[in-house]
Structure formats: C-alpha cells, structure tokens
Amino acid sequence: MKKEIKFSLLYRDMWQSSGKYQPRKDQLERIAPVIVEMGCFARVETNGGAFEQVNLLYGENPNKAVRAFTKPLNEAGIQTHMLDRGLNGLRMYPVPADVRRLMYKVKKAQGVDITRIFDGLNDARNIIPSIKYALEAGMIPQATLCITFSPVHTVEYYSNLADELIAAGAPEICLKDMAGIGRPHFLGQLVKSIKTKHPEVIIEYHGHSGPGFSVASMLEVCENGADIIDVAMEPISWGKVHPDVITIQQMLKDAGFKVPEINMDAYMRARTLTQEFIDDFLGYFMDPSNKETSSLLVGCGLPGGMMGSMMADLKGVHAGINMFLRGNGQPEMTIDQLLVRLFQEVEYVWPRLGYPPLVTPFSQYVKNVALMNVYNMVRGEGRWQAIDQNTWGMILGKSGRLPGKLDPEIIALAREKGMEFSDEDPQQFYPDALADYRKEMDENGWEYGEDDEELFELAMHDRQYRDYKSGIAKERFMAELEKAKTDQMAQQGFSDEDIKKAKRAGCDPIIAPATGRIYWEIDPEEKSIAPAIGAEFHTGQPFCYIENQFGFIEKVFCTFTGRITEVVAQGTVVRKGDEIAYLRPAEKEIKWKDAKEPIVRVETLPEPRKRIVKTAKKK
C-alpha cells in the first residue's frame, strides 16, 4: 500500500466560494460534533479571511464564533486551520506589523492550530514575518504558494520560493490552486521538486473545482508526495467550490493509498445540517451559478472564492450597461454575454498588470479593472480609466513585487499621473497602530476582551467593528435579508399578499392604541424617518408617538423584545387597532432600562383586531 493521505474539510472556504456570508456561531456549534463523527478529517478550516469580517457584517461577534467552532474539534484531536493573507492579515489591504503579531497570539488562544499564510503576489517579504510571528505564538505556519498558470509561473519559480519559505522556518507548504487552473502534470512535478529537496516538509494541496482540473490534480500531487488534500462535502461541494471528500477518498483508495473511512451516517447528518443553514439565511446570498463548473475559467484564471462577489458586481454593472444600450437604440446584453466579455477582458488585462496571481485581493483588483474597462468600452470610451487606489498600490509596488513586467502603457499612465514606483519592503508603508486603537477603546469604554481579542478585531476590521458595536451592522444585515427574501419570492411569482404573509410569519405586531398620525422622531435639521429594518427594541422601550386630531400626543411602548421586520413610514395616519410595525421576537426578553411602568401584552380576543396594549396600573 502507498503512503497515507489525510483530508482537511474546508468548512470556511466552502461558504466563501458559494456566497456572501458564513454560518453563525450557533450553527457552527451544531455542525462541529457531526464533523468529528464523520471520522475522516485530520484538519478543518475554521476561520480566517472572509470569516471574521463577515461575522461583523451581519452583526455578530467573530471571536465567540471562532472559539465555539474550534473547541469540539480541538477536543477530538482534529487540527484547526485558518486562512491568513500575510501582509493583509484577515482583510483586503495591508496591516501594521504590531496588529499582525497580535493576530497570531489571539488566534492561538482561540484554539486555531495552523495558519495558512499566503501573499497574493508570492512575495516572500510579505510571508516571512508572519512565519516568525506565528512561531512566536505557538502556531504552525503553513507557507503558501499561490498557483496560477502563466509564462512566469514555472516549476522552478515556485520551487525556489518554497526553498526560501522553508529556510525561514515554515514546516509546511500549501499549494493554493485558488482558481483550479494549475495543470495536473505541472502540479505533480512541483510537489516532486519540493519533496526531493525537503522530504520532511508537509505538503497540502488546495484546489477549486471550477475549471475541471482538480480531481486529476489531486491524484497527481498524491502520486508525487503530497500529504494532505483539501476537500468539501455536500451540499456545497463541486461547482466552483471544491471536490467532495467521497469522490477523492474513493479515487485515492483505488490508486492504492491509505485513506480514512467516512462515517456515512454522520456525513448525511452534516449534509442535512448544512442544507438547513442554507435554507435559514445563507442561501439567499448564494448565486446558483457557483454550483456550475465552466471551462471558460481556464483562460481567465479567476478563483472560485470570489465568484459570489463577482456575480453580484456583474449584475450591478449589467443594469448600467443595458440602460446605456437602450438609450442609444442598441440591443441589450445578457448576463452570460457580459460574463464572457469580462473573462476575455481579464485575459487582456492580467499580463499587462504584471501577472499578479489571481487570489485575494489581487483577483479583485484585476477583475475590477477588467469590469470597468468593459463598461467604459461599451460606452465608446477607452481602457484604464477607472483604476482605484488599491490597484495603483499594487502596480506601484506598495503591496510587493509583481511576478511579471508591467505593460509600457501602464507605466506611462502612472508617470503621467505623477506616481512613483517602489521596490522597498511594503511593511514600512504601514506603521504600528495598536496604541491608537487602545486609545479608541478606552475612550469608548470598550473592553479589550479575552486575550485582547476585541482589541484585535477593532485593529483588523475597524470600520466593521464600529458598526457591529453600534448595532448598525445588525440593522443593515436584517434589512438586506428581508429584501433578499422578498426579491426571491417575487422572482418565483408570488403575489404581494403572499409575500407579505411570508414576511410576517413568526413575527408579532405592534398595534396602534389610538387613531392619529405616526411620529417616530422629530428632527428639525434632517429628515425624520422610521427605524431601520432590523432595529432592536426592548420590552417597555418607547416605540413611537401618535398625534390625534386634537393635537394630543400619545406615547406607544414596545410590548416585547424583538427586531423590526416591517414598519410604517413617518407621518402615516393609522386607526386604532392598525398594525404600526411587525417585529420578530427575540429568544430572550430584555427590559428597557428606563421603563417606569410594567408593560402588559393582552392576548387577542375573537372580535377585536390583533392585540390591545394596556399599561398595568401601579399598586
């Protein structure tokens, strides 16, 4: 029998490659024990890029989610690993060195064993400091080669980079085939080259299934010495995600490798749970096209992990392009036609921008330039008119060295704008910043958190963390979710009345206790508006005001704890017994801190409308 091959479940990347959001803490707590029961995973990807930030975006605390997910896996002896963007940490732009160093201390304390460190340009200067910081914190640094296919990305190029990273202390190397366009034979030769020189180094292969190479690639890398293979599982395997563990296990078993058995009862339970999470809310933000493979991806090289955001961007530009075409008497483009145009433009743009590996964030930079080129060319304008500051940073060397040469046209454009190129260490452009974030937390009275994890979140995702702390993130997400549900039902042909009933399912109304005009607020300087969808109200909290025809104003209180799902506008005239708003009740009641009188909610009687709100008399 050949060597043993281990599997790693990409439970984080499965979701990133499928849509916009990640499972909540309570969902991760439910799935983790079932993943353990499956018995076939030596590792699980739990967090990292597009996990912590996404938790903040829907108003949840990522630190609690990471700890909850890693705990049962740690207890079962399964190694946990995270995705780490090197100089960019867990975000899309560079991070100060002191914040990078803190990240590894926090993540180790939260139960994460391994950090997969990659740099989108394969610049070792952006990876080596992270190897050092991870080792200092007691984590295993897995240095990463971002695989792509171009004249400059040869076996020798990657093998030399691996030598440099291993010499810096990396005990593991990951071949991150983020777009799945690495050719199987090429990948096998690369693994063989690294293993011949460094037989003690663990090699893990990560390949997306979009273009169709990945299954063959997995067999080829195993035949040449790879140790661990990244896999997915239903219902979000295949498509532009990753091959399913069942297929890979059976393929390798047939080829004579020692592989773990899969507890299929547990697999089916995990499959059911994951589908439940999709049905709960995640599916509203998953583009169906991400379940499809496409050979068109071979040429453009865009990664599976960005397909969700790319399709969302494409739809926005699609509407603008068709508006222009209609206004000029030209035939409109379908979304598929625009997609092909985008792929073709990526093929044109990529080499001229120096062949940056198409991985986060540089895949987004190249895609954005290509998309705006298409948009402007449809309008009869030229290329390169909409290059944002982050992309210019990449072009100028502020993010690291580009693997290839810039096109003379791009160099001339930069000089025309008075920009300067740099080959210095990118970290120097981003000075330490933790002292400033500590000051901000102190001024706001915010706790640094266990192991300084709250301080880290603010420093890593400052804008998103502030929105999370203020509650704006939760309100914004709830409004986005309600709109997504409504849009989906409308697309499926449901009537407005059916949509209204569905939106109100599981929600309770706040009833007008009098006839009059609704006032949510009186703002003399700006427009007064109703509270946002998703806004939370507590039991006994002032909800709104009703002014009757005689000018008498009555205060309306919230009679239970919940979040708004539907609400009437400022100035709406209501009759006694009408619904002012609908709220989805919270699991736990929270009493309003300034409530002076107990609020009693009287249940519905057969004749009156809905509910009657009364204030209990003081004894």
Sign of CA dihedral 127, 129, 135, 138: negative
**Over 90: is that where the pLDDT of 439 sits?**
yes
> What's the CATH code of the domain at 541?
2.40.50.100
Distances (CA, A) of 377 to 338, 344, 371, 409: 12, 13, 10, 17
Contact 563, 591 (CB under 8 A): no
The model's pLDDT over 79-111, given as tens digits with 9 standing for 90+, comes to 999 999 999 999 988 999 999 999 999 999 999
Rounded Cα distance, 443 and 145, in Å: 42
Q: Are residues 234 and 318 in the same domain?
A: no
402 lies in some domain: yes
Q: Are residues 77 and 145 in the same domain?
A: yes
Q: Which of 405, 427, 449 is the last residue of a domain?
A: 427
Q: Are residues 229 and 352 in the same domain?
A: no
**Over 90: is that where the pLDDT of 125 sits?**
yes
Rounded Cα distance, 456 and 454, in Å: 5
The model's pLDDT over 310-342, given as tens digits with 9 standing for 90+, comes to 777 788 889 889 999 999 999 999 998 998 899
Rounded Cα distance, 427 and 430, in Å: 6
In this predicted model, which residue has the larger pLDDT, 215 or 361? 215
State residue 507's pLDDT score: 92
88 lies in some domain: yes
Q: Which of 14-28, 201-215, 276-290, 307-321 has the lowest mean pLDDT?
A: 307-321
> What's the CATH code of the domain at 91?
3.20.20.70
Q: Are residues 128 and 176 in the same domain?
A: yes
Other C-beta atoms within 10 Å of 467: how many? 19
Classify residue 181 by its DSSP letter.
-
Q: Which two tokens stand for residue 530?
A: 């109703």
The range of the structural domain enclosing residue 522 comes to: 507-604
Rounded Cα distance, 96 and 99, in Å: 5
**Over 70: is that where the pLDDT of 610 sits?**
no
Q: Provide the domain count of the chain.
A: 5
Q: Reduced to 3 states, what is the DSSP secondary structure of residue 49?
A: coil
Q: Are residues 447 and 494 in the same domain?
A: no
Phi-psi region of 85 (alpha: psi -120 to 50; beta: other; left: phi over 0): alpha
589 lies in some domain: yes
Q: In a 10 Å sphere around its CB, with 0-12 CB exposed, 13-18 middle and 19+ buried, how is residue 570 labelled?
A: middle
Rounded Cα distance, 276 and 284, in Å: 12
Average pLDDT, integer, range 507-533: 85
613 lies in some domain: no
Rounded Cα distance, 31 and 87, in Å: 32
Contact 33, 68 (CB under 8 A): no
Q: Are residues 461 and 583 in the same domain?
A: no
**Which of these, 459, 577, 592, 492, lies nearest to 536 by C-alpha position?**
592
State residue 387's pLDDT score: 94
Q: Are residues 113 and 247 in the same domain?
A: yes
Residue found under tokens 């206790």 = 513
State residue 310's pLDDT score: 76
State residue 596's pLDDT score: 57
State residue 287's pLDDT score: 85
State residue 305's pLDDT score: 61
Q: Are residues 78 and 222 in the same domain?
A: yes
The model's pLDDT over 555-572, given as tens digits with 9 standing for 90+, comes to 999 999 999 989 999 999
**Over 60: is that where the pLDDT of 598 sits?**
no
617 lies in some domain: no
In this predicted model, which residue has the larger pLDDT, 567 or 524? 567
Percent share of the chain, pLDDT over 70: 94
Q: Are residues 190 and 200 in the same domain?
A: yes
294 lies in some domain: no
**Over 70: is that where the pLDDT of 614 sits?**
no
State residue 597's pLDDT score: 53
The model's pLDDT over 142-153, given as tens digits with 9 standing for 90+, comes to 999 999 999 999
Task: Show Cβ contacts of residue 231 under 8 Å, excluding neighbours closer than 6 positions.
Answer: 7, 8, 9, 10, 237, 242, 243, 244, 245, 248
Q: Tell me the backbone φ, ψ of residue 160, rounded to 5 degrees.
A: -65, -40
Rounded Cα distance, 173 and 584, in Å: 48
Contact 254, 230 (CB under 8 A): no
Residue found under tokens 């299934």 = 209
Q: Which of 414, 446, 470 is the last residue of a domain?
A: 470
- Which pLDDT band holds residue 524 (cuts at 50, 70, 90)? low
Q: What is the mean pLDDT of the chain?
A: 92
State residue 615's pLDDT score: 43
Q: Are residues 360 and 238 in the same domain?
A: no
Other C-beta atoms within 10 Å of 602: how many? 11
Average pLDDT, integer, range 385-400: 93
Classify residue 381 by its DSSP letter.
-
612 lies in some domain: no
Q: Are residues 465 and 520 in the same domain?
A: no
296 lies in some domain: no
- Strand partners for 562: 537, 585
Q: Where are the beta strands (DSSP E) in 314-412?
A: none
- Which pLDDT band holds residue 616 (cuts at 50, 70, 90)? very low
Residue found under tokens 């290839």 = 404
Q: Tell me the backbone φ, ψ of residue 428, rounded to 5 degrees.
A: -65, -20
Distances (CA, A) of 417 to 315, 382, 385: 31, 17, 12
Rounded Cα distance, 211 and 479, in Å: 35
Contact 139, 115 (CB under 8 A): yes
- Torsion angle (degrees, nearest 10) of CA 164, 131, 45, 74: 130
Q: Are residues 439 and 478 in the same domain?
A: no
The model's pLDDT over 13-67, given as tens digits with 9 standing for 90+, comes to 999 999 999 999 999 999 999 999 999 999 999 999 999 999 999 999 999 999 9
**Residue at 407: amino acid letter:** D
